[in-house]
Amino acid sequence: MNNFKFIVEVENLKKYYGNVKAVDGVSFKIKQGSIFTLLGPNGAGKTTTLEIIEGLRTPDSGKITIFGRQVEKIGREEKELIGVSLQETNLIGNLTVKETFSMFRSFYKKGLRVDDVLDFVSLKDKAKSYVDKLSGGQRQRLAIGLALINDPLLLFLDEPTTGLDPQARRSIWDLLLQLKKQGKTIVLTTHYMEEAEFLSDWVCIIDHGKIIREGTPEDLIKSIGGESVIE
């Protein structure tokens, strides 16, 4: 189940809320072992698209193929193989960091050792700290660690660096590149163009529920004549 050219394939995905076309015919393919980014402004449809693929929302129509198998809705079998970090993660503030990791680890049949994940996301020195005492960057590293606890093949991160200071953001970037080196496939949403350029193998620009352009960061920059600008 580990070898496919495209780990996710989405075809003509639609999700409407009354007259609001949140996702309006979105199609893309995600190569295994790559960082794939949905780039767009707030309200563009990035989160809804991700939540459908994650199994948190049901599409109105469209086709999803994940791990080489077409599914109508993501089920338990697929959820064992994916990790998810939502745009906002509400955790129990009076649990320690290590207790939180241990609780999430108990949800899965297989996974990583809690101490190994603590070490990987650089939270070993915060293992006994309460969650509500963490800084923004530490909370975000915790959220990514929780998404990794089941050792997923595929990782979904919804705007993982929003609101972080530049140093904390760069720390998250380094973490994601380490995960890519380990062979993880990462699906990222962001509205930061420099983040998409730095991290991504493939970028889909989405607005008003539609993909308006896609390609490598380099090709997208060249297509608008943005390789060099003099003012």
pLDDT in tens, 210-227: 999 999 999 998 887 655
Mean pLDDT of 79-90: 90
Those residues with Cβ within 8 angstroms of residue 205's Cβ, 6 or more apart along the chain or in another chain? 39, 40, 211, 212, 213, 214, 220
Could you tell me if residue 196 is inside a domain? yes
Any idea what the CATH number is for the domain that residue 39 is in? 3.40.50.300
Domain count across the chain: 1
pTM: 0.90
Using pLDDT thresholds of 50, 70 and 90, give the confidence band for residue 230.
Answer: low
pLDDT at 13: 96
Give the integer Cα–Cα distance in Å for 182 and 32.
12
pLDDT at 179: 95
Could you tell me if residue 182 is inside a domain? no
Could you tell me if residue 219 is inside a domain? yes
Could you tell me if residue 110 is inside a domain? no
Could you tell me if residue 220 is inside a domain? yes
Domain extent, residue 15, equals 1-81+154-160+187-231
Mean pLDDT of 19-35: 96
Give the integer Cα–Cα distance in Å for 200 and 218.
10
User: Which residue bears the tokens 């590149």?
Assistant: 177
Could you tell me if residue 191 is inside a domain? yes
Could you tell me if residue 120 is inside a domain? no
- Say yes or no to pLDDT of 1 above 60: no
Could you tell me if residue 142 is inside a domain? no
pLDDT in tens, 116-172: 999 999 999 999 999 999 999 999 999 999 999 999 999 999 999 988 899 999 999
pLDDT at 5: 86
Average predicted confidence (pLDDT) for the chain: 92
- Say yes or no to pLDDT of 195 above 70: yes
3-state SS class at 12: strand
Amino acid, single-letter form, for residue 142: L
Give the integer Cα–Cα distance in Å for 196 and 203.
7
